[in-house]
Amino acid sequence: MKMFKLKFYKILLLSILTFTACDKGFEELNKNPYFPTRVDFGPLFNTIIESLQLTWDEQFYLHNDTYYEITQQAALTSRFTSINTNGTESIWGNYYSALAHVRELEQRFDAFEGNQEILNNVRAQLKIIAAYKTFRITDQFGDIPFFDAGKGFQDLQYLRPKFDSQEDIYKFLLEDLEWAVDHIDLNLTTPSGEEYISYGNFDTFLDGDLRWWKKFANSLRLRHALRMADKDIAFAGPILKDIIENDLEVIEDGETVGMYPRKLSWAKQSTHWSFREHKGLRLGSNIWNHLSEHDSIDGSGIFDPRAYFFFETNNLDEWVPYPQLSDSNTPPSGGIPYQGHRDNNYTIKGADNIYSPFNYYLIRDEKDIPELIMTPAEVQFIKAEAYIRGLGVEMDIPAAEAAYTNGVVASISTWQDIVFSTEIWENAPAELTINEIFQVVSHPRIDIFSNNNKLELIYTQRWIDAFRQPWEAYALWRRTDTTPREGPPPEHYRLAYPPSEVENNPDNWAAQVAKMGGDTPKTKVWWQN
């Protein structure tokens, strides 16, 4: 099937006529968009799941050329471009294409002739997916069109939707997630004995496991309640309290949420492409100092096994980080560590590859390395912060220490599981037992029990765990201003709206820019102080 990209408003206009919308790497599955039959729910829901895949340009222009430098999870040795509009267009178009599908499913549910109760589970799953995608886009841009967006196929008046405040969007989505948690029923039938409608095999995301969906929803509630807590604790606090004190189910070890290519029958070629074509990312001195005790090139200072999962040695088999604060005296980075020739000539990284690159297998794999969405470790770090700061719950240092420790163990275990289940990965370090992982966590650089800067440790470990989620590390840094850093922080707090929005929605864009005082990265999003 021919693949193509469409701008948001063109998507909506075309939706009125044919309702076909594809994005790079996605296959069109939905059919017969106008009649609310049960058969049509699953394929349309599956197209929304497919939209969770990271886009090629997002990874290249935003992750590799922007976020890794800002978060200092890696070192950007050379910038591809000072313009990242290819990346912003990519994620903007992906989101609004998917939102149009969300609105269509909502409309089909509303038009369903029968007992609406039997739709509770599929409605809940849709709300959860829509919340995740919307949180992700508003966290990067701030205010966005939402409440009237994605409805162009319903009424032409919605082709140019107004912008909505991030605060209103956040609170609406958190309430939607609460509804989803309350209405997911693990039974097959309603209390009145009718069978619930399900997406069946079309739920390729969480395999139709409603308990897992519920856990994911609660985990998202934790993530975003904490993110807005410093702005409106009166709203966020009860959510944190409800989930933590009532011990509501959240994702646990072995339940990492992500897009798994093999399970989805999808060749994840985009990541290798983004590194191969970009070429500029290397191990940076900042994260190196949190994975190794000293700078010995033989790697003898490495105490955290994640160093081996994230990075590898240079062409001379040496561990050499690129200085985060480079200057004119810094030898330039080079080499070919990400090129496909390494499939057959693994050790050849180029004579001028003098700095440690990302691990080749991490970015080369097409089948087994997931695109992470949420890890069990992140949930534990959220709980640890809530306890140590007394957000929604009573301050409880021992509980914070326990959650933090569980988080580090979960992070190492998760990354180790990913590596050792990867078909192509070779030269991996020996697999650690759970006791050996706990020994890592007792290292003085990580051990929270002997460290007075407990909150800083929590942020540092959450930052490390989000190594392949640089957009999440970007959000963590903007909220806390406490993630590891060398040098002064940049004034970069959001993405500028893409040119297509300026072109296609000029009046509402202009009103939004006037409200913000400029469409600039220096403008903070709502939940920032």
Q: What is the pLDDT of residues 486-525, one digit of tens each?
A: 999 999 999 999 999 999 999 999 999 999 999 999 999 9
pLDDT at res. 157: 83
Sequence-distant (6+) residues with CB within 8 A of 114 are none
pLDDT at res. 25: 35
Which position has the higher pLDDT, 34 or 43?
43
Domains in the chain (CATH in brackets) are 11-208+490-518 (1.25.40.890)
Instruction: With 0.85 as the threshold, say if the pTM is over it.
Output: yes
Give the Cα separation of 528 and 166 in Å (integer): 11
pLDDT at res. 119: 97
pLDDT band at 5 (very low <50, low <70, confident <90, very high): very low
Give SS3 for 498: coil
Which position has the higher pLDDT, 17 or 142?
142
User: 72 near 283, Cβ under 8 Å?
Assistant: no
Sequence-distant (6+) residues with CB within 8 A of 119 are 109, 112, 197
pLDDT at res. 1: 33
What is the average pLDDT across 447-456?
96
Buried b / exposed e over 101-135, threshold 16 CB at 10 Å, is bbbbbbbbbeebeeeeebbbbbbbbbbbbbbbbbb
Burial label for 372, CB within 10 Å (0-12, 13-18, 19+), is: buried
What angle (nearest 5°) sits at the alpha carbon of residue 503, between those of residues 500 and 505?
95
Mean pLDDT of the chain: 92
Written as six digits, the tokens of 450 are: 């002997």
Give SS3 for 406: helix
pLDDT at res. 83: 73
Indicate the helix (H) or strand (E) that contains 274. helix 270-278
Least-confidence region, from 17-31, 206-220, 238-252, 422-436:
17-31
Taking each helix axis from N to C end, the angle separating 376-389 and 210-228, rounded to the nearest 10 degrees, works out to 40
pLDDT at 20 over 80: no
Give the Cα separation of 477 and 90 in Å (integer): 23
pLDDT at 22 over 80: no
